[in-house]
């Protein structure tokens, strides 16, 4: 939920206009009254530490390894599938030639040694833990299909009678599992990359102020609690701390979700990783290392990701049961078909049972969907604290949405300019607005100046600009005296439509309103569609905002 007062002592609601009390003479360093910070608790962070309990045997394989394994195994697999009939039926694209089965056997041997390696390593780890599961099943499937196929080739040449092999099934099974694990590792890697991006917010070095006021550059890792650091305009804050000297506006968007810069001064807390705006800040460090805000977010993500979801736990348990069930059923099939048929028939049914038992969907779908979901979430600023929440989210009937940066763009913009006096054109009013706000670094002032630039209108020239405490700003241009003040300070009703939720500032000449500018946060183009979709699915949307009641 948004909290306007979290970072600023000034709470200027939608009806208050804006206060230019920071102006002194010609100093336009900022307008404190524009402090509409709606700091919500969005953590735009990445996901890492994804522990695939179901795939313990390949945790150490980066997705790059599976990519390489798959791409190098693919030509071998395709050649094998071209030369080897599918379950004894020759497909239109397949062909054979004398001793093609020997060529296929040699290629399959290379393929199982190279492409099967991660699955066998995983199976060994599972057996060491006395919990055979997904990797053991995959290893079992590719092993029996390969070994029986080699046996079939040998018997064919020894007896002269053709025995059906499973090389096609072996190659397709191995390629599918490699491809699936590459996609899964890639999704996990993207989530990890998002967390790495979070870590990059903190600079490597910090400028430490020594007792003699000289500056020493130190690695951030060497900072200690109590150190005084200097942060120049445009630099990222290297550590959490309290401002000792200086005033500025800090962009905390990647940490809080708010794109509007937040006014900070002596005594205010700053978060490591936020970006300093226009001023120089002297900050006393109060948290370092694992205790810093970013480190705690990273630890939270890591802990959340290391806890497998309920579906993954079930999948792993089922895979464990399936391993034993597959082996038992295969042995039963062997005995039954040996009694009612012969040994070759019994072997074929046994191998078929073990190959079919290999859990393509179970082994890939659940971990892949979970990994991909958390990865997509990370890249869009969604922190999943409890992955089981993803599974129960489908049952939600109420959703609370933050306003700024979620339903809206999070950027203050000019929504409308109204002409209130026939002596001026709309272009002249915009020119006066941009001129009287000229030189200010405040987000609202900058939005007016940008609006004028977009319209191709040059700001009017003012001889002097001064602050009206608690009301706005005034300026003189020749014999004319202008004021840009809040609607409340103006004190009279204006016959005009004001966009809902907008802040209105009135341009006054010699106590007469000549124009007005409505400023506010714009809805995202997708917000209306989102609300309609939620209501269509019988989910009640609630908006959380700190603007006003």
Q: Give catalytic residues, as residue numbers.
A: 402
**Residue 190, CA distances (Å) to 28, 181, 196, 289, 381 in order:** 43, 14, 10, 24, 13
**DSSP-assigned states of every residue in 121-136:** HHHHHHHHTT---HHH
List, in sequence order, the alpha helices (H) in 54-133. Answer: 63-83, 100-115, 117-128
The token duo for 287 is 């948290």
**Residue 495, CA distances (Å) to 169, 349, 485, 513, 515 in order:** 78, 86, 17, 11, 12
Helix (H/G/I), strand (E/B), else coil: 172:
helix
Can you tell me which residue has the tokens 């806890």?
A: 307
Query: 248 near 233, Cβ under 8 Å?
Result: yes
The token duo for 232 is 């120049």
The token duo for 59 is 């945790």
Q: Where are the beta strands (DSSP E) in 175-220?
A: 205-209, 215-219
The full length of the chain comes to 549
Query: 496 near 417, Cβ under 8 Å?
Result: no
- Indicate the Cα dihedral angle 404, 406, 409, 410, nearest 10°: 30
- Indicate the Cα dihedral angle 85, 90, 92, 97, nearest 10°: 70
Number of other CB atoms surrounding residue 471 within 10 Å: 20
Under DSSP, the state recorded for 359 is: -
Give the burial string for 43-53 (b: 16+ CB within 10 Å, else e).
bbbbbbbbebb
């Amino acid at each position: 939920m948004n909290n306007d007062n979290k970072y600023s002592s000034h709470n200027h609601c939608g009806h208050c206009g804006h206060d230019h009390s920071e102006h002194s003479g010609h100093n336009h360093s900022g307008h404190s009254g524009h402090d509409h910070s709606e700091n919500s608790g969005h953590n735009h962070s990445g996901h890492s530490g994804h522990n695939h309990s179901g795939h313990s045997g390949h945790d150490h394989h980066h997705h790059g390894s599976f990519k390489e394994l798959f791409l190098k195994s693919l030509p071998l697999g395709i050649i094998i599938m071209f030369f080897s009939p599918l379950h004894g039926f020759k497909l239109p694209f397949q062909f054979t030639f004398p001793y093609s089965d020997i060529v296929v056997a040699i290629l399959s041997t290379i393929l199982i040694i190279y492409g099967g390696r991660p699955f066998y390593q995983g199976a060994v780890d599972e057996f060491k833990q006395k919990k055979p599961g997904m990797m053991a099943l995959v290893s079992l499937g590719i092993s029996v299909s390969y070994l029986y196929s080699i046996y079939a080739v040998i018997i064919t040449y020894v007896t002269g009678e053709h025995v059906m092999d499973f090389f096609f099934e072996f190659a397709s099974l191995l390629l599918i599992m490699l491809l699936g694990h590459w996609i899964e590792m890639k999704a996990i890697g993207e989530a990890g990359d998002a967390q790495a991006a979070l870590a990059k917010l903190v600079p490597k070095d910090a400028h430490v102020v020594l007792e003699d006021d000289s500056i020493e550059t130190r690695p951030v890792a060497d900072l200690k609690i109590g150190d005084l650091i200097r942060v120049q305009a445009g630099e990222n804050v290297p550590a959490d701390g309290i401002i000792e000297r200086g005033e500025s506006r800090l962009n905390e968007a990647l940490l809080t979700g708010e794109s509007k810069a937040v006014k900070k001064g002596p005594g205010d807390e700053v978060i490591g990783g936020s970006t300093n705006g226009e001023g120089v800040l002297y900050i006393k460090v109060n948290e370092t290392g694992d205790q810093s805000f970013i480190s705690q977010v990273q630890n939270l993500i890591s802990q959340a990701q290391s806890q497998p979801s309920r579906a993954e736990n079930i999948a792993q348990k089922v895979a464990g049961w399936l391993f034993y069930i597959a082996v038992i059923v295969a042995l039963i099939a062997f005995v039954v078909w040996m009694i009612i048929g012969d040994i070759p028939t019994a072997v074929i049914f046994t191998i078929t049972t073990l190959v079919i038992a290999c859990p393509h969907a179970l082994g890939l779908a659940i971990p892949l969907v979970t990994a991909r979901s958390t990865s997509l979430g990370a890249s869009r600023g969604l922190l999943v604290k409890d992955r089981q929440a993803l599974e129960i989210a489908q049952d939600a009937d109420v959703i609370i949405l933050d306003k700024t940066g979620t339903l809206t763009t999070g950027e203050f913009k000019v929504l409308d300019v109204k002409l209130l006096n026939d002596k001026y054109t709309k272009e002249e009013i915009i020119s006066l607005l941009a001129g009287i706000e000229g030189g200010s670094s405040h987000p609202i002032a900058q939005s007016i100046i940008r609006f004028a630039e977009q319209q191709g209108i040059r700001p009017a020239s003012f001889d002097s600009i001064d602050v009206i405490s608690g009301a706005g700003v005034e300026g003189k241009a020749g014999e004319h005296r202008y004021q840009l003040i809040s609607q409340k300070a103006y004190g009279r009703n204006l016959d005009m439509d004001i966009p809902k939720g907008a802040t209105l500032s009135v341009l006054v000449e010699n106590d007469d309103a000549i124009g007005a500018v409505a400023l506010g946060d714009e809805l995202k183009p997708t917000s209306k569609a989102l609300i309609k979709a939620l209501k269509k699915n019988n989910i009640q949307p609630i908006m959380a905002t700190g603007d006003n009641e």
